[in-house]
Amino acid sequence: MFAEEDLPDRQDLVLTGVTALTMDPAIGDVPDATIAVVDGEITAVSAGLPERTPPGARVVDGRGLIALPGFVDTHWHLWNSLLRGTVGDAPGRDYFSVKRGLGPYHEPADFYWAARFALAEAVTAGITTVHNWDHNVRSPEDADVNVRAQLDAGVRGRFSYGPRDSTPADEPMDLDDLRAFVQRWPDRRRGGLLDIGVALRGPYRTPPQVYRREWAVARELGLPITMHCDRCLREEGCSSCGLTRLADEGLLGPDLQVVHAVHASPADVTALATSGTRVSLSPITELRTMGFPLVTELFEAGVPVSLSTDTLAMPTAPDVFTTLRAVEAVEAARCGSGVVTPRRLLRMATLDGASDLGIADVTGSLTPGKRADLVLVDARGSNLLPSGDPAEALVRQGRATDVRTVLVDGRVLLDEGELTQPSARAAVADADARRDALVARARAAGAWD
Ligand SMILES: [Zn+2]
């Protein structure tokens, strides 16, 4: 079911002559920079030539390249990635119908390879941290294979354990298995690359006796909580997210990540800001299916905001540059306040994502002492010439295919545009066959036409 372990060894590197967009507020941009990576750690970011080259390090001429921290994706349903292509405009082929129809026919191997497939695409786009938001855990094995996929892919992140898809509203998720899962995956098995969270349905989809119990167990276990907030509360009208009521119940706080919140009222936004609750926005899926992401309002209120893909099975792609370009354009049309700048958006996609996941001391900026999660963009393509401000260029003209090299924790996972792991390449090559087998299984059971 699994791939052979084929993570490349960590590579000591010295990059010279690179344009560094460090996203570290104390360092800023460094033109003509030298960046050193030793044992998976960034050991130097400096102007000019290196003081000394670590013995055995590969020296890379970075002229014409922009270096930036790897992107952080804070909400991504990796499990349903193989449904892309089946979801479309034909009747009965919308995202929710396809998810409902084919979700039950996923076997653990499908979950493993769906996650590997999505993570391969993440790496090609320069995304080095992914929050795997699993809202279809049907058995202990389902959760385990997801974690295994994340570790095998070598991508940093979080796995958030959720209920199986379509769990009845009045039925709690399997809290005993959640406890067992946490026991099964202690820190030492996760290699410093992954932490664990819990994905709850909350008051939007479950009654008080369910969400209060789930919330209490999550907090008892000390797990960060994530929850979709894409519609009004069950017993309220549809004018807002009802987050003020969640605040009254003591549910908000820095341990909660709310996803979407496109219907947040001004009072809801204030409740988010004062409680330190985090918000993950998936702008393209929100624009397609929910409404406007409230980027300007959330930024202005000081709410911690991060960026996410949501799912490969909706009409979107994990192309961060294209997504940020859309956000800047929509916000210019909607608010025009000048708050949503390319540099601020890049921070949302890097450092603020790391803060959302509680790992800003590890990743999110090119800072000596942090782990080497690093992206090299080729700035010599016609779309990025003639050159100008690098942040403006990336957000306004960049493409995911400009990403040439990607390191996570000092391992080169993308080299000159090629995935270095044979298993990652296999995840892509076999995606059609795995999807076809899944559909055939559902069809044989009479659940798919
Ligand atoms: Zn989602």
Instruction: Compute the distance from residue 413 Cα to the ligand 1 centre, in Å.
Output: 26
Which amino acid, one-letter code, is at 411? R
Residue 241 forms part of a structural domain: yes
User: Using 50, 70 and 90 to split pLDDT, how confident is the model at 233?
Assistant: low
The boundaries of the domain holding residue 319 are: 71-356
Report if residue 118 sits inside a domain. Answer: yes
C-beta separation of 164 from 137 below 8 A: yes
Q: How confident is the model at residue 4 (pLDDT cuts 50, 70, 90)?
A: confident
Instruction: Domain count for the chain, please give it.
Output: 2
Distance of CA 378 from the midpoint of ligand 1 (Å): 31
Q: How far, in Å, from the CA of 260 to the mean position of ligand 1?
A: 8
Instruction: Please tell me whether residues 340 and 400 are part of one structural domain.
Output: no
Q: How far is the CA of 390 from the centre of ligand 1 (A)?
A: 31
Per-residue pLDDT averaged across 300-327, rounded?
97
In this prediction the pTM is 0.97
One domain for residues 295 and 403: no
Question: Do 382 and 342 belong to one domain?
Answer: no
Q: Looking at residues 397-420, what average pLDDT do you find? A: 98
33 and 146 in a single domain? The answer is no
Residues 97 and 153 in one domain: yes
Whole-number Å distance, alpha carbon 78 to ligand 1 midpoint, is 10
| Span from the CA of 226 to the centroid of ligand 1 (angstroms) | 10
Res 26: pLDDT:
97
Whether residue 231 is predicted with pLDDT greater than 70 in this model: the reply is no
Query: Residues 263, 401: one domain?
Result: no
Same domain membership, residue 183 and residue 37: no
Q: Which two tokens stand for residue 349?
A: 């996609």
**Looking at the structure, do residues 86 and 39 belong to the same domain, yes or no?**
no
DSSP letter for 90, please.
S
Classify residue 21: in a domain, yes or no.
yes
pLDDT digits (tens, 9 = 90+) for 80-104: 999 999 999 999 999 999 999 999 9
> Quick check: is 435 in a domain?
no
CA distance 257 to 259: 6
pLDDT score of 295:
98
Assess if residue 449 is contained within a domain: no
Model pLDDT for residues 130-188, shown as the tens digit of each residue: 999 999 999 999 999 999 999 999 999 999 999 998 899 999 999 999 999 999 999 98
The yes-or-no verdict on residue 361 having pLDDT over 80 is yes
* 171 & 245 share domain: yes
Same domain, 173 and 309: yes
Ligand 1: centre distance to CA 273 (Å): 21
Q: Is the CB of residue 40 less than 8 Å from the CB of residue 10?
A: yes
* 282 CA → ligand 1 middle, Å: 8
Ligand 1 centroid to Cα of residue 191, in Å, is 26
Distance 311 CA to ligand 1 centre (A): 7
Residue 197 has pLDDT above 90, yes or no: yes
* Long-range contacts, 214-221 (Cβ 8 Å, 24+): 214/172, 214/173, 214/175, 215/251, 217/175, 217/178, 217/179, 219/255, 221/178, 221/179, 221/182
Measured in angstroms, how far is the CA atom of residue 271 from the centroid of ligand 1? Answer: 22
Say if residue 326 is in the same domain as residue 310.
yes
Q: What is the CATH number of the domain that holds 151?
A: 3.20.20.140
Say if residue 163 is in the same domain as residue 62.
no
- 356, 376, 396: which is the final residue of a domain? 356
**What average pLDDT does this structure show over 249-257?**
97
Mean pLDDT of the chain: 95
* 90 found inside a domain: yes
Residues 204 and 229: beta-carbon distance below 8 Å: yes
**C-alpha of residue 310 to centroid of ligand 1, in Å:** 5
Domain at 17, CATH number:
2.30.40.10
